């Protein structure tokens, strides 16, 4: 080989190496996930006809009892969530109230289960009953007229059936105030009759 050609051989070899394609990679490809076999699929799927168990809380049964306890959380079957309103009749005629001078008058009370005030003695006095339960309570009496006024108070209890009850009064002293003076008399017991009526006309 002539010298000029021999001098060009190394350069030619370098050019061929630079222009040649890179060698194929020797790194192994990532492993692929094997496709599930029929045996694997059948093991993962639940067997046909088998029941799936779901953990649920037991259903609370409803009740038809009226709700009288605020802590009673049971559901009502017919929507009876609230206590039914009472339809009892609490209207009475009271015989009778004694007025100053000895006259007596009857009064009507539309609902004796609540405090009630009645005007008596020709419009010159008021008497108020305040029940503490269905058989007892307190009362106050105030009279205005003849240049002065009188007042008294006490307690009452009721006996007998709900259709006809007897009121037993225990009073404090009765005081009359007039002309700058006050005169009090000794307490004395009294009674009255409470008779249930169909309707109240007050």
pLDDT by position in tens, the chain (length 202): 444 444 444 444 444 444 445 555 555 555 555 555 554 545 555 555 555 555 555 666 777 777 677 777 777 776 544 555 555 788 999 998 888 778 889 999 999 999 999 999 889 999 999 999 999 999 999 999 878 999 999 999 999 999 999 999 999 988 999 989 999 998 888 899 999 998 887 6
Is the distance from CB of 129 to CB of 116 less than 8 angstroms?
yes
- Residue 96: its pLDDT value, please? 84
108 assigned to some structural domain: yes
Quickly count: other Cβ atoms within 10 Å of residue 112's Cβ: 19
DSSP 184: E
User: How far is residue 63's CA from residue 109's CA, in Å, rounded to a whole number?
Assistant: 38
53 found inside a domain: no
Could you tell me if residue 20 is inside a domain? no
Residue 14: inside a domain, yes or no? no
Domain count along the chain: 1
In a domain, 73, yes or no: no
For residue 152, give its domain range: 92-196
Q: Please provide residue 185's backbone torsions phi and psi, each rounded to the nearest 5 degrees.
A: -110, 165
Token duo for residue 149: 């006024």
Domain assignment present for 143: yes
């Amino acid at each position: 080989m002539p010298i000029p050609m021999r001098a060009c051989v190394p350069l030619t070899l370098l050019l061929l190496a630079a222009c040649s394609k890179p060698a194929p990679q020797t790194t192994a490809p990532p492993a692929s996930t094997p496709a599930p076999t029929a045996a694997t699929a059948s093991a993962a799927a639940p067997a046909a006809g088998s029941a799936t168990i779901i953990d649920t809380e037991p259903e609370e049964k409803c009740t038809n009892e009226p709700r009288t306890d605020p802590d009673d959380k049971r559901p009502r079957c017919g929507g009876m969530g609230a206590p039914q309103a009472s339809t009892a009749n609490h209207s009475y005629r009271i015989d009778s109230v004694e007025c100053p001078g000895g006259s007596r008058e009857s009064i009507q009370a539309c609902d004796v289960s609540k405090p009630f005030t009645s005007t008596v003695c020709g419009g010159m006095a008021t008497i108020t009953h305040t029940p503490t339960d269905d058989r007892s309570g307190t009362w106050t009496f105030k009279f205005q007229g003849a240049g002065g006024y009188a007042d008294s108070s006490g307690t009452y209890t009721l006996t007998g059936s709900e259709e006809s009850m007897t009121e037993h009064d225990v009073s404090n002293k009765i005081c009359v105030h007039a002309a700058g003076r006050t005169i009090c008399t000794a307490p004395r017991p009294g009674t009255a009759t409470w008779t249930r009526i169909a309707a109240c006309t007050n």
